[in-house]
Amino acid sequence: MKRVLLVKGDLLLRVIVEKSAELAELRAASIVADLVRRNPQATLGLATGRTPTNVYRELVRMHCDSDLDFSQITTFNLDEYVGLGPKHPQSFRYFMQEHLFDHINIDAAKTFVPDGRALDFESHCRQYEQRIVDAGGIDLQFLGIGVDGHIAFNEPGSSLGSRTRLKTLSSETIGQNAKYFNGEPMPRLALTMGVGTILESQICLLLATGSHKASAIRSMIEGPVTAQITASALQLHREVIVIVDEKAGGWLERRDYYSEVEECTQLLESGQLRALGIGN
Ligand code: F6R
């Protein structure tokens, strides 16, 4: 049966609504794993936080059970808290080691996270950007979204053309993340890839689960492109896949349409053309 592939480079904002958080996480993991299999030398952009935790667990399982090979993969993390070193349990470097890197066969020298202890922020951020360029750019950028619509730590009001830089965290973000610091004061600054940096990735894969993300997801997909919701800049990207569970997708007004697009995409990809009225 003839198989029709969507042309890479087509304008594409694909919204996939899964029934549960678990299914959404498995779907995201399978997209990352497919890329790693197709391109064993791929460069991945990675996120931290609650959202990707089970995705990394699934990737670790695939590595252990089905030899998913990370030996030639390069990774760049989105962000890091200023002031925290790699041994601090709340640092994003620590998170990545604990949830992914320590359990797969990745080359440690190819895993990059901004250095929270760098004192010359400007030159460190410039070097980080240069390293991404030297690696040939990011093939797939995995993203979460903040309740205020941020991607990475690009808080509301960030320039949509921004590059990796020092950023002051918003009170909403501090309110969301302070619980992880167990009463210890939380950093107020972060080093973060910019919106412009993220938009240069070949594919952006954004995952959101839980009803507390519903408003941000609707604004990002159905609202105007605005620096007040930095995730909305993804509307300008040429290949974005958004995976949500029913709760995070619960405020989407055009949800039925996204499901119809998804159904047609799957029929096209599996070559079931007659079901689409082609060649009848
Ligand atoms: C983390 C990051 C942030 C998070 C966002 C959601 O590296 O870049 O943008 O993705 O704050 O965090 P969780 O997943 O904890 O809700």
- Across the 280 residues of the chain, what is the mean pLDDT of every consecutive 10-residue run? 44 90 98 98 98 98 96 98 97 98 98 97 97 98 96 98 97 91 95 98 98 98 98 96 98 95 90 90
Query: What is the structure's pLDDT at 200?
Result: 98
Is the CB of 46 within 6 Å of ligand 1? no
Query: What is the structure's pLDDT at 103?
Result: 98
The residues pairing with 245 across neighbouring beta strands, listed in sequence order, are 18
Catalytic, 256? Answer no
- CB contact at 8 A, 13 and 235: yes
Catalytic, 134? Answer no
Is the CB of 150 within 6 Å of ligand 1? yes
Task: Tell me the one-letter amino acid at 53.
Answer: T
Is the CB of 60 within 6 Å of ligand 1? no
- CB contact at 8 A, 203 and 239: yes
Expressed in angstroms and rounded, the spacing between residue 154 Cα and the centre of ligand 1 is: 11
Catalytic, 155? Answer yes
The ligand 1 atom at the shortest distance from the C-alpha of residue 154 is 9
Task: Please list, residue by residue across 259-269, b when 16 or more beta carbons sit within 10 angstroms of its beta carbon and e when fewer do.
Answer: eebeeeeebbe
Expressed in angstroms and rounded, the spacing between residue 173 Cα and the centre of ligand 1 is: 9
Catalytic, 79? Answer yes
Is the CB of 114 within 6 Å of ligand 1? no
Expressed in angstroms and rounded, the spacing between residue 257 Cα and the centre of ligand 1 is: 27
From 82, 94, 148, 151, give the residue whose CB has the most ligand 1 atoms within 8 Å, as the site to mutate.
151
Expressed in angstroms and rounded, the spacing between residue 144 Cα and the centre of ligand 1 is: 5
Query: What is the structure's pLDDT at 172?
Result: 87
The ligand 1 atom at the shortest distance from the C-alpha of residue 79 is 7
Query: What is the structure's pLDDT at 3?
Result: 43
Expressed in angstroms and rounded, the spacing between residue 2 Cα and the centre of ligand 1 is: 41
Query: What is the structure's pLDDT at 122?
Result: 96
**Which residue puts its alpha carbon closest to atom 9 of ligand 1?**
152
User: Could you give the strand order of the β-sheet that contains 79-81, starting from the edge strand earlier in sequence?
Assistant: 79-81, 189-192, 165-168
